[in-house]
Amino acid sequence: MNRVLKRVGALLLCSVIALTAIPALNTEAAVKMEKTGSQWDNVVALPEYTEVREMTIDKNLTWLKNYNPETNPAWMTKLQYEIIESDTPTSTTFKHNLKEITNNYTSKYYKKYLKRSLTKFFESAEKNASKKIQYKLTFAKGTYNLEDSFKIPNNTYIYAVGSTFKPAAKVTTCFYNVDKKSGENIIMEGGTWDVSKVDLSSLKDAKKRERYYNVSMAKFLGVDNLVLKNITLKCKKKQHMIEFAGVNNLLVSGCKFSGNNMDSNAAAPENVQTKEALQLDVATTAAMGSFASGCASGMGCHNVLIEKCKFTNCSRGVGSHSAKTAQDKNPYTNITITGCTFNKMLGEAIFVQNWKNGTISNNKISNCKRTGIMMISSSYNLLTGNTVKKVKAFSGARAAKYKTTVCSVYLYQSHNNYISKKGLKKFKHGIVYFEGACNGNNIAK
């Protein structure tokens, strides 16, 4: 765990160093970043665990074959026993299953025991993981066909560098957090989640197939301290790829997103508003549907760092299009998007609504529609070091609703933002386009 903390700390330190090159804000031009402390302080503050309980998954069921009550820790023996499954240690069922795993192992048993292992591990973590005890699930390099979602408890670390996950058609949401009221301390590092070529023939009902295309791959709700590092998401969908709502202290680093661009019919798109691959949202049932049932706090996302990520062939890249709530009148604060690349979007690369005290820096944007960066009702944000090129106008139904404006940065009723024009290309409607009342914005060379 200390190794993970050092990596996260080093990552944040590099980000601080990179920002030192950003020019000072011109406060004389009414740009006053209303910060209540550095947004880089403790973006993710993980506990110092005193115990790590680790299970390693591989193709040979090694973890289960090593069942030995005399030498293994009690927690491990108990979990192994539950996975092998029996009523009593001396029962015929237990002996039969253990022999099946150790002596007569064949690939046909693997699917059954993989599902059992994941289910029992997550159940055990939900009961026993704490700020002192971390549960770590490590995957050996390889490809894993999954029959169920990852239901991730608090204080859990999933390490999957070099692994590829291919969920079945019945797995509409690949992974999500269990505790949606007081979630905390979740790490996911590495792994490719690929649902771009899922065989949907098992879904006989056309409505079920359509629902599959319109459900996000992953969701996190009500989590404090969340890390996603070097994860790849591939899909063939019309919806967001991953959603965060009511999340504080979020780090998304080195991740790749592609494929939520199915809704490309310009004449009659199912969703006229394009969908962000990475969506920051508010914790309401209106925004998150039944996933937020019983835990709709109404809160947005705060203290977020999204860096060094790649978005390709997406509907939109990153953003928020849900408005403020009674519980959270500034639903998105201290959000930073830096060092990311965006290419081939159906809509805008970055979509900002109701953001305050955010930073959008050093991103490369190309081949998008309407604008590279859209800002609605947002204030005191810093945009610098970004490059935007190859922006085209919307067409069809989207043009009818959003017009055919083309620019690098589009501001709608947004105030007191600092925008550096360096690296931004001039299009038909200029470099920075204003609509509605936009006061106190500093547009620098």
Contact 165, 194 (CB under 8 A): yes
Q: From its phi and psi, is residue 222 left (phi > 0), alpha (psi between -120 and 50) or beta? A: left
Burial of residue 20 (CB within 10 Å: 0-12, 13-18, 19+) is exposed
CA distance 410 to 432: 6
Residue with tokens 């927690």: 75
Q: Are 295 and 222 in contact (CB under 8 A)?
A: yes
Residues 152, 186 contacting (CB under 8 angstroms): yes
Band of pLDDT at residue 386, cut at 50, 70 and 90: very high
Cite the DSSP H helix spans in 85-204.
Answer: 92-102, 107-128
Would you place residue 30 in the very low, low, confident or very high pLDDT band (cuts 50, 70, 90)? very low
User: What pLDDT is attached to residue 38?
Assistant: 34
Location of structure tokens 């289960």: 64
92-106, 181-195, 260-274: the lowest-pLDDT one: 92-106
311: part of which helix (H) or strand (E)?
Answer: strand 310-314
Q: What is the pLDDT of residue 323?
A: 75
Which one has a higher pLDDT value, 283 or 28?
Answer: 283
Nearest to 398 by CA among 348, 332, 445, 339: 348
Separation between Cα atoms, residue 442 and residue 264, nearest integer Å: 36
Mean pLDDT of 277-282: 95
Q: 345 pairs with which residues across the strands?
A: 314
What confidence score (pLDDT) does residue 409 get? 98
| Structure confidence at residue 208 as a pLDDT band (50, 70, 90) | confident
Q: How confident is the model at residue 396 (pLDDT cuts 50, 70, 90)?
A: very high
The helix/strand/coil state of 189 is strand
What is the rounded average pLDDT of the residues 120-128? Answer: 96
Q: Would you say residue 206 has pLDDT above 70?
A: yes
Mean pLDDT computed over every residue of the chain: 87
Domain ranges of the chain: 2-61+105-444
The tokens describing 64, both together, are 């289960």
What is the Cα–Cα distance from 83 to 71, expressed in whole angstroms?
18
Per-residue pLDDT, averaged over 27-31, amounts to 32
- Please count the CA atoms within 13 angstroms of the CA of 425 that sit on its side-chain side: 17
pLDDT above 80 (res 202)? yes
Give CA–CA dist 139/163, Å, rounded. Answer: 7
SS3 category, 46: coil
Phi, psi of 309 (to 5 degrees): -100, 155
Note whether 353 and 319 are within 8 A (CB). yes
The predicted model gives 298-304 an average pLDDT of: 91
Q: Please state, in angstroms and rounded to a whole number, the distance separating the CA atoms of residues 383 and 375.
A: 11
Average the pLDDT over 353-365 and give the result. Answer: 97
pLDDT at site 40: 36
Mean pLDDT calculated for residue range 51-71: 93
Higher pLDDT, 419 or 99: 419
Q: What is the pLDDT of residue 88?
A: 56
By residue count, the chain amounts to 445
Q: Tell me, what's the pLDDT at 410?
A: 98
185 within 8 A of 153, measured Cβ to Cβ:
no
What pLDDT, on a 0 to 100 scale, did the predictor assign at position 233? 98
pLDDT of residue 388 exceeding 80, the answer is yes
Mean pLDDT (whole number) for 350-359:
96
Q: Which residue has the higher pLDDT, 325 or 437?
A: 437
Q: Among the listed ranges 99-103, 284-288, 370-374, which one has the minimum average pLDDT value? A: 284-288
Q: How much is the average pLDDT of 150-166? A: 97
Residue 392 has pLDDT above 70, yes or no: yes
Q: Rounded to the nearest 5 degrees, what angle is found at the Cα of 299, between the Cα atoms of 297 and 301?
A: 140
Contacts 24+ apart (CB under 8 A), 432-438: 432/407, 432/408, 433/371, 433/405, 433/407, 433/409, 435/410, 435/411, 436/412, 437/413, 438/411, 438/412, 438/413, 438/414
CB 401 within 8 A of CB 272: yes
Mean pLDDT, rounded, for 238-250: 94
Topology at the third CATH level for domain 2-61+105-444: Pectate Lyase C-like (2.160.20)
Q: How confident is the model at residue 86, as a pLDDT?
A: 59
Q: Compute the average pLDDT of residues 132-152.
A: 95
What is the CA 382 to chain-centroid distance, rounded? 23
Give the confidence band of 27 by pLDDT, cuts at 50, 70, 90. Answer: very low
Closest CA to 345 of 406, 275, 280: 275
Averaged pLDDT for residues 89-115: 76
Q: What CA–CA distance (Å, rounded) separates 51 from 130? A: 10
Closest listed residue to residue 141, CA positions, set 58, 17, 229: 58
Share of the chain above pLDDT 90, in %: 68
Specify the pLDDT at position 75.
Answer: 95
